[in-house]
Amino acid sequence: MKNKLSVVIICKNEERIIKRCLESVKWADEIVIVDSGSTDKTIDIVSEYTDKIFVNTDWQGFGYQKKLAVRKATNDWILSLDSDEVVSEELKAELLSHLDSLDNKKVYRINRLTHFCGKFIYHSGWYPSRIVRLFNKKHYDFNDKLVHETVCCKSAEKVNIEGKLYHYTFDSLEEYIDKRNRYAKAWAKGKYEQGKKVSVFSIISHSLFAFIRHYIIQLGFLDGYHGYLIAKIQMQYTFNKYNFLKFKNLTNI
């Protein structure tokens, strides 16, 4: 019997971008949406593609929200997407061809290509970016991380799917910087709650290495000015997240 596929997406105020994502997966057996309390036209847009729409405004992090979306799916096989991602025709064909032969104990990594401020990024540590997004929910699920959530599957065999998942991150530099700052604060909050501490030396060394890693080791310079921007913002993000943690260590706030 052919496996059925549920596409799960979490969102909030994504009226500008989510239609493109939904159009790319309207062939799926089911689309499940978990919204965090949109105040724009997001719900109206997703209603054109599915009636499986759930609202959860009790925000406990990306991991928790994605786990909730997985639980709402009626099929065992899950394709998890973000609202700024688009399944290419190549990836669609590959996914459909794999459905009959999927192995419950394996997880499937999709190759994501990121579009940043008007340009696809082929270096800088952003590509190839193989991430587990296709899995059987009876065996695997997301972790509970506030940010940078992943599917818990350390012991699983990972199968690569070559079709590209287009990731349209940001057209605005300001928007990207704002998001990195929000992620830095969420990261620091999570580490603080785990009792983690950080030294001034760690702040400096991690920040410097972030630039070196993205711009030199991961060949960001081949992405031109965009590669420089990514490395510089990543350095600033690293500096911010460790300083936010240090401040919490000092003030217990």
pLDDT at 253 over 90: no
Q: pLDDT-based confidence at 1, cuts 50/70/90?
A: low
**What is the reported pLDDT for 171?**
84
Q: At what angle do helices 224-251 and 173-193 cross, to 10 degrees?
A: 30
pLDDT at 23 over 80: yes
**What is the reported pLDDT for 146?**
86
The CATH class for the domain spanning 5-170 reads alpha beta
Q: pLDDT-based confidence at 99, cuts 50/70/90?
A: very high
| pTM of the full structure | 0.86
Q: Kindly list the distances between the CA atom of residue 18 and the CA atoms of 31, 36, 82, 133, 168, in Å, as whole numbers in the listed order.
A: 13, 14, 9, 18, 11
Using a pLDDT cut of 70, give the percent of the chain over it: 100
Tokens of 146: 């506030």
For 30-72, the pLDDT digits (tens) are 999 999 999 999 999 999 999 999 999 999 999 999 999 999 9
Tokens of 126: 């952003």
**What is the reported pLDDT for 246?**
96
* Amino acid in position 149: E
Q: pLDDT-based confidence at 245, cuts 50/70/90?
A: very high
Report the C-alpha gap between 253 and 251 in whole angstroms: 5
**What is the reported pLDDT for 204?**
98
Mind spelling out the 3-state secondary structure of 140-194? Answer: CEECCCCCCCCEECCCCEEEEEEEEEEEEEECCHHHHHHHHHHHHHHHHHHHHHC
Q: Kindly list the distances between the CA atom of residue 66 and the CA atoms of 34, 35, 47, 69, in Å, as whole numbers in the listed order.
A: 8, 10, 19, 5
pLDDT at 79 over 70: yes
pLDDT at 27 over 80: yes
Domain positions in the chain are 5-170, 173-251
Q: Classify the C-alpha dihedral 82-224-177-208 as positive or negative.
A: positive
pLDDT at 252 over 90: no
pLDDT at 143 over 80: yes
**What is the reported pLDDT for 111?**
96
As a whole number, mean pLDDT of residues 203-214 equals 98
As a whole number, mean pLDDT of residues 174-180 equals 92
**DSSP state at residue 17:** T
Of 169, 160, 77, whose CA–CA distance to 111 is shortest?
A: 160
